[in-house]
Structures are given as structure tokens and as C-alpha cells.
Amino acid sequence: MKSYQEMTKEELLQEKEALEAAYAEIKAKGLSLDMSRGKPAAEQLDIAMDIFNVLDETSILKAENGTDLRNYGVLDGIPEAKQLIAEMVGTKPENVIVYGNSSLNIMYDQIARAEIFGLCGNTPWSKLDKVKFLCPVPGYDRHFAITEDFGIEMINIPMTEDGPDMDLVEQYVNNDATVKGIWCVPKYSNPQGIVYSDETVRRFAALKPAAADFRIFWDNAYAVHHLYDENQAEILNILEECEKAGNPDMVFQFCSTSKVSFPGAGIAALSASPANIADIKKRLTVQTIGHDKINQIRHVKYFKNMDGIKAHMKKHADIIRPKFQMVDELLKAEIGSRGIGSWVNPMGGYFISFEALEGCAKAIVEKCKEAGVVLTGAGSPFPYKKDPKDSVIRIAPTYPSADELKEAAEVFVTVVRLVSVDKLLENK
Amino acid sequence: MKSYQEMTKEELLQEKEALEAAYAEIKAKGLSLDMSRGKPAAEQLDIAMDIFNVLDETSILKAENGTDLRNYGVLDGIPEAKQLIAEMVGTKPENVIVYGNSSLNIMYDQIARAEIFGLCGNTPWSKLDKVKFLCPVPGYDRHFAITEDFGIEMINIPMTEDGPDMDLVEQYVNNDATVKGIWCVPKYSNPQGIVYSDETVRRFAALKPAAADFRIFWDNAYAVHHLYDENQAEILNILEECEKAGNPDMVFQFCSTSKVSFPGAGIAALSASPANIADIKKRLTVQTIGHDKINQIRHVKYFKNMDGIKAHMKKHADIIRPKFQMVDELLKAEIGSRGIGSWVNPMGGYFISFEALEGCAKAIVEKCKEAGVVLTGAGSPFPYKKDPKDSVIRIAPTYPSADELKEAAEVFVTVVRLVSVDKLLENK
């Protein structure tokens, strides 16, 4: 197929006419579709319903260490839940604190605590003139919303196929003491699905931060969220690598079962070095008496161990893989072939990150919306919602049904073609 | 019975000899008892076990407004949970945000948010030279721990039988703009079990704070925790009273089902004016996607409504009332009769606050510990753990079995007598 770039003005005008007719037809349908939400489909939630039937009286009454799980106490999580989480992210139970239902809330708390009290005895960030965070882009909008809320200056770091541009990361972290953190989704990154290479992880671990309280916010949100049985990504263990490199306290790792069991009714956890864990517990004990231990034991009884989690995640994959494949195939056929966009076909995670021709993202999202297809706002995957090239669009294929997704994706590719033609015509 | 104050030196010395013999006998028993913990007994937890069997597939799948409770979303709680909480504290559902499992965590967040972001557009407290909180004493140690952690200066306000000394509260709040808040447990106060009179509540509502962002932290922890079927305390509705008095935004009310269903696995909530709710939600949306909606629906299905909660709380009362009565009777017989201590016999809540002769609390706690009976640390119910008179001891009768409690209480009264005799002999 001829790429749009190769087309003459006349050819483009012809294409535009056909696409506008197609677009008018689509609009006439009065669609109401949504590809914006990184949520599991109801079908995925159905597979974990037995979690509500696993508790018998004995298991509710007592943890393995004899604790009555129905009463107050246990600040850092019950031992068997710490074990399960440790297996999930590849660390030791003593490095884990199990919280409530939201890993985002844990990240927020870590930033809030750094701002108010400081980390491990360092100056509270709120007392400093300037605090900066590095933000690999495109990235997760809710990460950026937290740092924005606290008035932390965010610096874009471009992503490569191996993770963030580490030359740039090293340059900032090792030389600028106002750089206090970096947001990372190391496995199946949100939204690109990129997996950090071993080299990238090692370079992270070997950073020589100018700031003593620089922390990597390692959001291992998709640790077990593979789409395929083969080619499952494994990343190096960041806690271990940091320890080996003499930087044991440089990382906070986050994870949850939100997209394993249920969003909102899962369990979430932080893992970090003993010094960080002690620093956190000192404050956490003022903040709460403890989290929901019954939901913790519920997860332990249901999943049992890492094998249980893997088997369960395979069921998720079987449901959502065809959706990802369908979108990928449609993009290949309609967009890739015409040279008007690029994307990584992800092996896991929850998103496809589409990169349109420069200056087209906002127009595509807008035109899709006019045709009844909601996409994540253009700019969302960037700090301050500003995509410097106006080209990235996050596609979330999981939530709609296969039929709805197909219809929405077809609208999307038509709109991408139409907006791309318009863009190319500007320079003819 | 002759009071100790009326005794001659010789009589006191005789008494001392007998008590020391009794104390030696007690010590020889090698007891290990605990009256320190404000926790429900296992027997109380047994009565709510059916809460784990109330969810059928339909109720998990959909809230009354059609929301899939298993997926992301619903920042402020599902409508039916807001309704249940509203009934429990006597407010409207639109004034309620239902959170996770811990009301303490909500209070912490309110203080943290005031410190970092400010309340309703006011200057963040962390930017001010001085922030003060009024602390009715004796009070709840975990309240004071939060304000202490944030470096907020705490000012003792004596309790009367009608609540905090309102003359003093008015004097501080209406004249000192650095006074930003007050901790209150208005119904069956922790630890005295005092119920704020209508006059007290009205005077709270009619405050004319010097600070625009002064807030009453109204911890209605024992809203439904009556010990008796008759004489159940009712307090005026603080949100309504504040609204009537032209101070709609002056109060945050907190509550939870921690001592209704399960500590750690209950639901907790805040209620406040529309302006406060909007101010909170603006920040909360950055902090989390939502709380555990399945645990919310679980509570709604189990308790159904206020009648369900009342019937359930009657079962709690039937279990713990005899414990409170036993302690009260023993104190009356052994201590009251001798004029060496006072307490309020509470009609609800979780504690008895014992006031020993001045300068005796630490010694009593210490001597009980030596004899194997753990009490809450002397000073705990005061800011900075400093009891100016060294006289208050918090007794928590609920957690031990009736037999253990009786044994512990007998040790306690013997020790109180012994320490009191020693104290009185100092001035003979």
C-alpha cells in the first residue's frame, strides 16, 4: 500500500473525500463507545468471584501466627500476605508492607510523607525551594497528578524501547540535588507496554544521586500481567540490584492485586529496604492501626501462592489477548501500512500507546469524540497534560466487549487516516 | 467504711502492712493479665461472622445505581453505604464520604491535607509559624499522637461532666487565630464515657473562631455503642447545629464500624458540609481511585439499616455490660468507699477513666505491671503523655474474659489502696 507521505496532493484530496464520507456515515450511527478506561472487563471480574467463598471460620479467626484477624492490629500486614506479595514481586516478606486496596494511595502517602516529614531523617521536601521529579514519557497520568498536586516540578524523560533514556536520567539524578524521584512502570509500562531491559535496571541501581533522599518510585503494577504464555517479560529485581550496587535505600516498589482480583477490593503493597520499611512504619503507626487483614487472608486463601496467581492471570490473558491482537492487526492494516502512526505491540499490561503524526493527537481524540468514541484525553500521558509533539494517544482495549472494541477501533483508524491526510495537506 | 483521709497515721500503717501482704500474695501468683486494650473480645467478634455470608452474586455485581462494585471507581462511597452511615450519625447521605477501614486514617488525612494544602483555600498550616489544637483531657491518645506528629502545639482543656470546659474553649477559639482545631469524642468520650450536653454542643456550634479554618474534629466513635437499653445517650447533631448557627463548615465528623462489625475490616466515614466535602474530594481524587466498595456493600447487606445496627449493638452490649458493671461495683466497694479515687460509671463506649489521688497514677500502673497486670500507660490520655496531676488511669474492660477481668480488677484495687496509703503517709 502506498504510504500517505508518498501521495500527491491530488491523491490525498481524493483520500480525504472518501474518508470524510466514511466519517459522516460513522457519525450517523450515533455510537457511544469507550476506549479510554484501563479497567478490566466484567468478564474478567467474573473469574475471581470464588474469592468470596474461600473464608471458613478457622481462617478468619486466626492467621498462621495465631493473630485473630478480626480484631485490631498488625500494622504491616499478616505474614502470609507478605509472603504472597513477596513472591509476586520477587522480594522477601520482611521487605514488604501490605496496605489496603490502593497502591496509588501508597505512592501518594510516600510523597506526602517525604514532603511533610522527610525520608529517613532528610529535610522535608516542603522545606526546600525546589523539588523535581523525572517523568518518563509517555507515562501514567495518575503518577503525574500526584507530583503536580504537591507542586513538584516534573521533567520529561523520553522512553526508549529499553526503558527511560538512562543517559538523561543519570545526568539529572547524579548532578542535580533537587531531583528527588522518578516515576517508573518497569514492566509493560503504562501506556507503551515497554519492558525495562536488564541494562536499564542495572543503570538505575548504579545511580549516584546528588540527593541523599532520591528515590525510584518503582510501580510494578503489571508484574504478573502477561498477555501471552510465551515471551513473558522478566525484569531484574530492583531491590536486589540496588543493594548490590550499594544503594539499598534508593527504591520504593509498589504493587497491587487490583487487576488480579478486583480493582478497589484487592490488596496493595510496598516493598523496600529495611531502613525504608522502619522509616515508614514509624510514621504509619500514627496514621492507622492497621489495614484490612480479612481481605488479606481472603487473597491468600484464594491464590495460595505464585502458581495460583499465574494460573489466574492466564485466565485474564485469555480474555483480553484477542482484544489487543485485534487492535494491533487493525492498526497494522490501516495505519502502519500507510505510514501515519506507530505503536509497540505490547506483550502485557493494559494499554497500547499510539503515536500519530506530530500535531494530530488532539484532533484525533476530538474527532473520535464527535463520532461517539471516547479516548483518553490527548496529553494525558504527559506531565501537565502537555504532549510536546501532540502525537500520543493511549488506547485501552480491555474494558469494552470484543464487538464494541472492534467498532471503536474501526472508527479510530478512520479518524487517524482523515486527520493525517488533513495534516499532510497543510504542507502541500 | 472509714475513708483513708480520715485515718490516723497508725491506722494507715496497719492498712499498709495488710495490703503489702496481699500484694505479695498476688505477685506470687505470676499473673499475666491485660486491661489496657480498647479492643472487642473474641466473643463480640463471633456475633458478626455472618457478614461474610451475605453477598450473593447479584449484590456484588451491582450497586442500586447499577455500578459494578467489583471494578474501579466511586470516590466517595456507594450510595447505600452513604445512606447507612448517614443514619448512624444522623446526617444526610450527601454529607458523607465513605472511606476504607480506619476513621483514624481519615482524621490523619484531614490534618495532613490542612498542613500541606490548606482547608477550603486557606493557608496551609505548614506555612504558619504556629498551629495549636485544643485537647479535652483526658482524651484519646491516638488523636494526640497525630497532632504531636505534625508538630501542632496541644493545649489541655479540662473535661466537665457536660463535655469540655466551654468557657475555656470559647476563650481560645474566639481569640486566638493560631488555634485551628479541637479533638472531640462527643458521645461516651474516650476514656471517661462523658456525653456532651445539648448546651455544650450548641456552644460549640456558636463559636466565633478567630481562624477561618478552625475545625472541630468530631470523632463520633461511639455513636451507637450504648451499654444499656435505657438511658441511651443522644447528642445534638453537630452538623445541623453548626449550620443553624451560621458555621456550616466548622466541623468534620468521623465514625466507623470498627467496633460494630470488625476492627480493621469495617468501614469508616467522614461527614461534613457540602463545601468541605467538595474541598476534600478535590484532593482525594488524586490520592486514590476509590475505597473498597465490596466491603461497603457487605456492610449494607448485613446491617440493612439503623434498626439492624441497633439490634446488633444490643448483642455487643449484652456481652460487655457485665464487665463494666463488675469493675464499677468493685471500684465502688473498694475505692469509692475509701475516698481514694473517682470515676464516671459510663453508659456506653469502651473505657472507664479512673482518677486516683494526685501523684499516684504512675505508681499504680507500675505496681500493677510488677504483679502481672498491664494497664494503659499513665499519662497516655494526655497530650505529650503528660498527666499534670499524675492521677488518670484508663481501664479497658472489654477484651479480657469476665474471669480474667475480675482477677485483674482485684489486683488493681489492691494496688490503688496500697499506693494511696503510701501517698497519704507522705504527709503524716
Between CA A56 and CA A132 the distance in angstroms is 49
**Is the omega angle on the peptide bond into residue A191 within 30 degrees of 0, that is, cis?**
yes
Among A42, A105, A290, beta carbon nearest to B287: A105
Residues of chain A with CATH 3.40.640.10: 62-304
- Which of B52, B54, B281, B299 is the best mutation test for A, with the most CBs of A within 10 A? B52
Nearest Cα to Cα of residue A315 among A61, A64, A40, A101: A40
Residue A352's identity, in one-letter code, is I
Contact A1, A417 (CB under 8 A): no
CA distance B103 to chain A (A): 8
Between CA A314 and CA A306 the distance in angstroms is 12
Query: Residue B49: enclosing H or E segment and its boundaries?
Result: none
Is the per-residue pLDDT at B402 higher than 90?
A: yes
pLDDT for residue A202? 98
Give residue-wise pLDDT tens across range A211-221: 999 999 999 99
Residues of chain B with C-beta less than 8 angstroms from the C-beta of A281 = none
Contact A353, A193 (CB under 8 A): yes
**Phi and psi, residue B180, nearest 5°:** -105, -10
Res. A61 pLDDT band, cuts 50 70 90: confident
Domain A4-44+310-426 has CATH 3.10.100.10: no
Give residue-wise pLDDT tens across range A83-101: 999 999 999 999 999 999 9
Q: Average pLDDT of B271-287?
A: 98
Between CA A232 and CA A195 the distance in angstroms is 10
Residue B260's identity, in one-letter code, is V
Between CA A122 and CA A124 the distance in angstroms is 6
Q: Which residues are paired to B98 by β-bridges?
A: B269
pLDDT for residue B332? 97
Contact B262 A291 (CB under 8 A): no
Residue A424: CB atoms within 10 Å: 19
Among B71, B101, B126, beta carbon nearest to A263: B71
Residues of chain A with C-beta less than 8 angstroms from the C-beta of B72 = 37, 39, 258, 263-264
Q: Give A265's contacts (C-beta < 8 A, 6+ positions apart).
A: A101, A295, B69, B70, B292, B293, B294, B295
Res. A63 pLDDT band, cuts 50 70 90: confident
Query: Residue B316: enclosing H or E segment and its boundaries?
Result: helix B306-334
Q: SS3 of B275, please? A: helix
Between CA A225 and CA A423 the distance in angstroms is 37
DSSP assignment of B163-212 equals EE-HHHHHHHHHH-TTEEEEEE--SS-TTT-----HHHHHHHHT---SST
pLDDT for residue B64? 87
pLDDT for residue A56? 84
Give residue-wise pLDDT tens across range A99-142: 999 999 999 999 999 999 999 999 999 999 999 999 999 999 99
What value does the mean pLDDT of chain B take?
Answer: 97
Contact B362, B378 (CB under 8 A): yes
Per the model's pLDDT, the better-predicted residue between B61 and B190 turns out to be B190
Q: Which residue of A has its CA nearest to B109?
A: A287
Among B101, B126, B290, beta carbon nearest to A292: B101
pLDDT for residue A93? 97
Between CA B76 and CA B280 the distance in angstroms is 10
ipTM over 0.95: yes
Q: Which residue of B has its CA nearest to A145?
A: B286
Res. B34 pLDDT band, cuts 50 70 90: very high
Contact B294 A70 (CB under 8 A): no
Q: Average pLDDT of A41-62?
A: 90
pLDDT for residue A1? 80
Res. B386 pLDDT band, cuts 50 70 90: very high
Contact A127, A176 (CB under 8 A): no
Between CA A35 and CA A257 the distance in angstroms is 22
Contact A356, A391 (CB under 8 A): yes
Contact B265 A150 (CB under 8 A): no
CA distance A169 to chain B (A): 26
Contact A263 B108 (CB under 8 A): no
Contact A262 B105 (CB under 8 A): no
Res. B259 pLDDT band, cuts 50 70 90: very high
- Supply the angle between the helices A79-89 and A293-303 in degrees, to the nearest 10: 60
Residues of chain A with CATH 3.90.1150.10: 4-44+310-426
Q: Average pLDDT of A74-82?
A: 97
Q: Which residues are paired to B254 by β-bridges?
A: B219, B270
Contact A72 B105 (CB under 8 A): no
Between CA A60 and CA A298 the distance in angstroms is 8
Contact B70 A264 (CB under 8 A): yes
pLDDT for residue A59? 74
Give residue-wise pLDDT tens across range B39-49: 999 999 999 99
pLDDT for residue A64? 87
Q: Average pLDDT of A294-320?
A: 97
Residue A51: CB atoms within 10 Å: 21
pLDDT for residue B329? 97
CATH of domain A62-304: 3.40.640.10
Place of cell 452474586: B57
pLDDT for residue B16? 97
Give residue-wise pLDDT tens across range B93-121: 999 999 999 999 999 999 999 999 999 99
CA distance A289 to chain B (A): 8
Q: Average pLDDT of A155-165?
A: 98
Q: Average pLDDT of B129-143?
A: 98
Nearest Cα to Cα of residue B140 among B218, B241, B203: B218
**B120 φ/ψ sector (left φ>0, alpha ψ -120 to 50, else beta):** left
pLDDT for residue A427? 87
Between CA B201 and CA B268 the distance in angstroms is 23
- Which of B45, B104, B105, B190 is the best mutation test for A, with the most CBs of A within 10 A? B105
Between CA A250 and CA A206 the distance in angstroms is 10
Q: Which residue of A has its CA nearest to B38?
A: A72
Nearest Cα to Cα of residue B103 among B57, B134, B140: B140
pLDDT for residue A428? 85
Contact A334, A411 (CB under 8 A): no
Residues of chain A with C-beta less than 8 angstroms from the C-beta of B292 = 100-101, 264-265, 292, 295
Residues of chain B with C-beta less than 8 angstroms from the C-beta of A294 = 52, 262, 264-265
Contact A288 B262 (CB under 8 A): no
Contact A264 B290 (CB under 8 A): yes
Give residue-wise pLDDT tens across range B327-378: 999 999 999 999 999 999 999 999 999 999 999 999 999 999 999 999 999 9
Name the fold adopted by B64-304. Aspartate Aminotransferase; domain 2 (3.40.640)
Between CA B62 and CA A84 the distance in angstroms is 29
Place of cell 495505519: A335
Contact B286 A108 (CB under 8 A): yes
Q: Which residue of B has its CA nearest to A144?
A: B286
Residues of chain A with C-beta less than 8 angstroms from the C-beta of B290 = 102, 264
Tally: H helices and E strands in chain B: 14, 13
Among B70, B104, B290, beta carbon nearest to A45: B70
Per the model's pLDDT, the better-predicted residue between B2 and A135 turns out to be A135
What value does the mean pLDDT of chain A take?
Answer: 97
CB pairs under 8 A between A and B: 150
Between CA A201 and CA B161 the distance in angstroms is 63
Between CA A380 and CA A159 the distance in angstroms is 16
Contact A102 B40 (CB under 8 A): no
Between CA A257 and CA A101 the distance in angstroms is 8
Give residue-wise pLDDT tens across range B284-309: 999 999 999 999 999 999 999 999 99
Res. A189 pLDDT band, cuts 50 70 90: very high
Contact A70 B101 (CB under 8 A): no
Contact A71 B262 (CB under 8 A): yes
Question: Which of A53-62, A162-171, A240-249, B370-379 has the lowest average pLDDT?
Answer: A53-62
Contact A68 B49 (CB under 8 A): no
Nearest Cα to Cα of residue B34 among B424, B277, B394: B394
Q: SS3 of B257, please? A: coil
Query: Residue B160: enclosing H or E segment and its boundaries?
Result: strand B153-160
CA distance B152 to chain A (A): 13
Q: If you ran DSSP here, which 8-state letter would residue B34 be given? A: E
Contact A198, A244 (CB under 8 A): no
Contact A110, A152 (CB under 8 A): no
Is the per-residue pLDDT at B60 higher than 80?
A: no
Q: Which residue of B has its CA nearest to A141?
A: B286
Q: What is the 3-state secondary structure (H, E, C) of chain A?
A: CCCHHHCCHHHHHHHHHHHHHHHHHHHHCCCCEECCCCCCCHHHHHCCHHHHHCCCHHHHHCCCCCCCCCCCCCCCCCHHHHHHHHHHHCCCHHHEEECCCCHHHHHHHHHHHHHHCCCCCCCCHHHCCCCEEEEEECCCHHHHHHHHHCCCEEEEEEEECCEECHHHHHHHHHHCCCEEEEEECCCCCCCCCCCCCHHHHHHHHCCCCCCCCCEEEEECCCCCCECCCCCCCCCCCHHHHHHHCCCCCCEEEEEECCCCCCCCCCCEEEECCHHHHHHHHHHHHHHCCCCCHHHHHHHHHHHCCHHHHHHHHHHHHHHHHHHHHHHHHHHHHHCHHHCCEEECCCCECCCEEEEECCCCHHHHHHHHHHCCEECCCCCCCCHHHCCCCCCEEEECCCCCCHHHHHHHHHHHHHHHHHHHHHHHHHCC
